[in-house]
Amino acid sequence: ENKGKVVSRDMLMQKLWEMDSFVDENALTVNIARLRKKLENAGLTDFIGTKKGLGYIIE
């Protein structure tokens, strides 16, 4: 849906954890790392890029 567009960390946090309770921002970092590892194992290296200070992008 957002391929080629930078998606902010805040937007990802809101979409992934749609609850009022506090979720540590590190949870997103850990989950992105796990997703990258799974994608890498499937042969998709550098699929998720990081735009420092902005968010993530599917390249």
CATH number at residue 16: 1.10.10.10
Q: How confident is the model at residue 21 (pLDDT cuts 50, 70, 90)?
A: low
Q: Summarize pLDDT for 28-47 with one digit per residue, the tens.
A: 999 999 999 999 999 999 99
Q: How confident is the model at residue 16 (pLDDT cuts 50, 70, 90)?
A: confident
Predicted confidence (pLDDT) at residue 17 exceeds the cutoff of 70: yes
20 vs 40: which has the higher pLDDT: 40
Which of 2, 16, 9, 23 minimizes the C-alpha distance to 51?
9
Number of folded domains that form the chain: 1
Residue 48 belongs to what H/E stretch? strand 48-51
> What sign does the CA torsion over 38, 42, 45, 47 have?
negative
Q: Would 46 be classed as within a structural domain?
A: yes
Q: Calculate helix-pair angle for 26-41, 9-16, nearest 10 degrees.
A: 90
Domain that holds residue 37: 7-58
